[in-house]
Amino acid sequence: MKSVRVTVSAICVILAVAFFSSSRHLFAQSEQQTQPEQAVTPPPYNPYPPGILPSNLNSELARVDREIQGIFNNYLAQSKALPPLTYVGNPPILQGDGYNAMRILGGLLNYDLNMSPFKNTACSSCHMPYAAFSGPIPSVNLTMIAYPGSYRYRAGKRTAQRYTYSHSFPVLNYNTTQGAFFGGNFWDSRATGYQLQAPDAEQAQWPPLDPAEMQFPDLACIAYRISKSSYLTLFEEIWGPFSINWPSDTETICDTPAGATTFGGSTTPIALSPTDRTTAKNVYDHWGQTLGFLEASNEISPFTSKFDAFLAGKYTLTPPEMAGYNLFRGKANCNSCHLDGRSTAPTPPPPEGTLPNSMDTGAAADTTPVFTCWGSSNLGLPKNPRDSFYYETTPDSFGFTLNPAGFTYADYGLGTFLRSGFATGPSPNSNWTQYAATSDGQMQTMTARDVAMTPPQCPTTEAPGPYFQKEFFHNGYIKSLKQLVHFYNTRDVYRYQVESGECPAGTVEKVTCWPAAEVPQNQDMTVGSLGLTDEEENQLVAFMQTLTDGYTKPYPFINTYTGACMTGGNAATQGNSTIIPASVLRRMAVEAAGASGQK
């Protein structure tokens, strides 16, 4: 028999809280979070040529799962220690502990491995604290780029963006004066924020339903798994009770990954009444809002870096750091997109400006700069043939094919989204379609904050280390901050019309050879030939390292990494040993597809 529904009126919420506040403590001792019981999985999907998947992938996925479980249990203990939550006033507010309760609930949702068909993938599986909430597996960052989802080894097409400061991005909008888009979340800005008025909250709603990520086939699976979770009472204390009449096949549906042919293309395979469907959608909105709150909190975006201390007069930048800062807002032109609250000086070259001789000597205009312009840009990155997405051209055990286009797929980023194209989301504004062609290739300008964050035992992103291997930009082509700066500096100096792995004899890829741009149109020409010396490149890296949170106060959960550091080599050619020529990979992909009966 269906439970009695509770209205959203303030009076009912207040009355209900008395029960939930006491029940959370009454049953706390019986709520024990153990490793999730995983559904039986079919054999992994592995259409990849040799060398795409890292050899230690399974052990590394298991390692991250253990780390996630440990952090989840920490949040669960925090939830049990909360005092009774009390709504006061009209509108009702959780007085005193509302912020803390919402933060804790956000942590529980973020680290819950049950939020996937096989109970092995959480939001944090691709976003761990010690990597600034980006990819936690060095070998994946070095090889396949995108992270495997719940059904192994389906994987997406881009790097895992950092959570840090994502809350600062506004609702996606087109600035008619500037002729450019600003806001949204994701590399292609498809989490516009138009419904929840918070792009980061809407971003949190995409991975659970992405067939390459957490892979739920129906958004109601989130409400279903929450209804069976150890933190249900806390969720209902904050957002109010919910009741849904779950069909008997709900568990079976939620144990099956999105895209399975058994669903016949339906995105609502759980047969709910209209009222229950609305309730499930409301729970899903609260899921996104809670995770958005966590991302905006000091748990993730705390402004505790050396640079923040410098702005407060509590840290003196070292000579290399200060030199890098002056380059960042001067000769290197970084500050024209990664805003630090000061003007960008110098302006363009003469006669329009005074490059490279002027310097901004004014006071900081912003004491909490987030080092982004919230816009998008096509930097002209080469295609990365190691990206796992290019090889997912054959049906998996569930009959789903992620990328029928194979190696011919080109990532046009924002432009594809504005067209509501393949492998993105539907645009909520048809008026934007007219700007798609001029937006092709553009990817979101991420904050430069925490770009250098690593686990303490692997104190740098740079070889020879000990270092933590990260991946940079949307396709992970760049493997170190040295390479990142060198790309901005010399892209147009050493550009060759070749593919990765096929640079001319006598050149070194990423040093004296940059392969052709994947999307040659609409390239940002404010970078590419900056005239920086090798020392100046290194000084810029030194400055970017001052943007890492955790200097004035320890960064939460930074010490949870239990993997190994990497050593050897140098930052200029970091990762080059894993380059496989694009022509070789393309041939192997065709052979693999042919062996599977694909043309």
Q: With respect to residue 110, please indicate whether it lies within any of the assigned structural domains.
A: yes
Per-residue pLDDT at 595 exceeds 90: no
In a domain, 254, yes or no: yes
Q: What is the CATH number of the domain that holds 283?
A: 1.10.760.10
User: Any idea what DSSP says for residue 460?
Assistant: B
pLDDT surpassing 60 at residue 568: yes
Average pLDDT over residues 480-490: 98
What are 94's two structure tokens?
């959780």
Banded model confidence at residue 30, pLDDT cuts 50, 70, 90: very low
Give every CB contact of residue 354 below 8 A, 6+ residues apart in sequence. Answer: 346, 347
Calculate mean pLDDT across residues 46-60: 96
CB atoms within 10 A of CB 466: 16
68-78 confidence digits (pLDDT tens): 999 999 999 99
In this prediction, residue 345 carries a pLDDT of: 62
Sequential DSSP letters for 266-310: -S--S---HHHHHHHHHHHHHHHHHHHHHHHSTTT----SHHHHH
Q: What integer pLDDT is reported at residue 42 of this predicted model?
A: 86
Q: Are the beta carbons of 309 and 551 closer than 8 angstroms?
A: yes
Handedness of CA 76, 82, 84, 87 (dihedral sign): negative
Gap between the Cα atoms of 516 and 499, Å rounded: 6
* Cα(192)–Cα(205) distance, integer angstroms: 12
| Residue 146 · residue 212 · CB < 8 Å | yes
Q: What's the DSSP call for residue 134?
A: B
528 dihedral zone (left: phi>0; alpha: psi -120 to 50; beta): left
For helices 481-490 and 534-545, the axis angle rounded to 10 degrees is 130
Is residue 460 over pLDDT 70? yes
Give yes or no for a contact between 192 and 171, defined as CB atoms under 8 angstroms apart. yes
**Domain that residue 24 falls in:** 10-296
Alpha carbon distance 574, 180 (integer Å): 34
Report how far residue 346's alpha carbon sits from residue 344's, in angstroms, rounded to the nearest whole number: 6
Q: Specify the range with the lowest mean pLDDT, choosing from 269-278, 364-373, 479-488, 518-527.
A: 364-373
Quick check: 344 pLDDT over 90? Answer: no
C-alpha to C-alpha distance for 391 and 266, rounded to whole angstroms: 25
Query: Residue 248 domain-assigned?
Result: yes
Structural domain count, the chain: 1
Phi, psi of 268 (to 5 degrees): -135, 60
DSSP state of 388: G
**Nearest 5 degrees, angle CA 391-CA 392-CA 396?**
140
Identify whether 173 is part of a domain.
Answer: yes
| Percent residues over pLDDT 70 in the chain | 89
16 pLDDT more than 70: no
Could you tell me if residue 502 is inside a domain? no
Encode burial over 154-192: b for 16+ CB neighbours within 10 A, e otherwise: bbbbbbbbbbbbbbbbebbbbeeeeebbbbbbbbbbbbb
* Mean pLDDT on 420-436: 97
Give dist(CA 412, CA 422) in Å, integer: 10
pLDDT grade for 359, boundaries at 50, 70 and 90: low
Q: Enter the tokens of residue 493.
A: 């100096």
- Contact status, residue 368 vs residue 315, Cβ threshold 8 Å: no
In contact, 167 and 200? CB cutoff 8 Å = yes
In angstroms, the CA 480 to CA 486 distance is 10
pLDDT at 348: 56
Residue 91 lies in a domain: yes
Spatial contact of 170 and 409, defined as CB atoms under 8 Å apart:
no
Flag whether pLDDT at 165 surpasses 60: yes
Which of 37-41, 55-59, 519-523 bottoms out in mean pLDDT, i.e. has the lowest? 37-41
Residue 87 lies in a domain: yes
Mean pLDDT throughout 237-246? 97
Q: Which of 412, 361, 405 is nearest to 522 (CA)?
A: 412
pLDDT given for residue 592 in this prediction = 73
What is the tens place of the pLDDT at every residue in 512-526?
Answer: 999 999 999 999 999
Lowest average pLDDT, out of 22-26, 221-225, 452-456, 579-583, goes to 22-26
Q: Is residue 536 part of a domain?
A: no
Surface-to-core class of residue 399, CB atoms within 10 Å of its CB (0-12 exposed, 13-18 middle, 19+ buried): exposed
Question: Collapsing DSSP states into helix, strand and coil, what is residue 163?
Answer: coil
Question: Reduced to 3 states, what is the DSSP secondary structure of residue 377?
Answer: strand
Task: Summarize the confidence of residues 56-77 as an average pLDDT.
Answer: 98
For tokens 């997405």, what's the residue?
389
The label of the residue with tokens 């002209």 reads 380
Is residue 144 over pLDDT 90?
yes
Tokens of 420: 């509501």
Report d(CA 394, CA 379) in Å as an integer.
31
The alpha carbon of 12 is separated from its chain's Cα centroid by a whole number of angstroms, namely 38
Helix (H, G, I), strand (E, B) or coil at 227: helix
- Bridge partners, 382 (sequence order): 517
Mean pLDDT of 114-138: 98
Which residue, 79, 157, 145, 139, is CA-closest to 112?
79
The predicted pLDDT at position 85 comes to: 94
CA end-to-end distance (rounded Å), the chain: 53
Q: How far is CA 159 from CA 168, 182, 198, 542, in A?
A: 20, 21, 22, 24
The answer to whether 476 touches 536, Cβ cutoff 8 Å, is no
| 232: confidence class by pLDDT, cuts 50, 70, 90 | very high
For 274-332, write each residue's pLDDT tens digit.
Answer: 999 999 999 999 999 999 999 999 999 999 999 999 999 999 999 999 999 999 999 99
Cα 36 vs. chain centroid, distance in angstroms? 24
**Looking at this protein, which amino acid is placed at residue 442?**
Q
**Cβ 410 vs Cβ 518: under 8 Å:** yes
3-state secondary structure 169-212: CCCCEEECCCCEEECCECCCCCECCCCCCCHHHHHCCCHHHCCC
Q: Which of 294, 298, 242 is nearest to 272 (CA)?
A: 242
Question: Tokens 């407060």 identify what position?
Answer: 312
Phi, psi (deg, nearest 5) at residue 423: 60, 35
- pLDDT over 50 at 51, yes or no: yes
Cis ω before 349 (30° cut-off from 0) = no
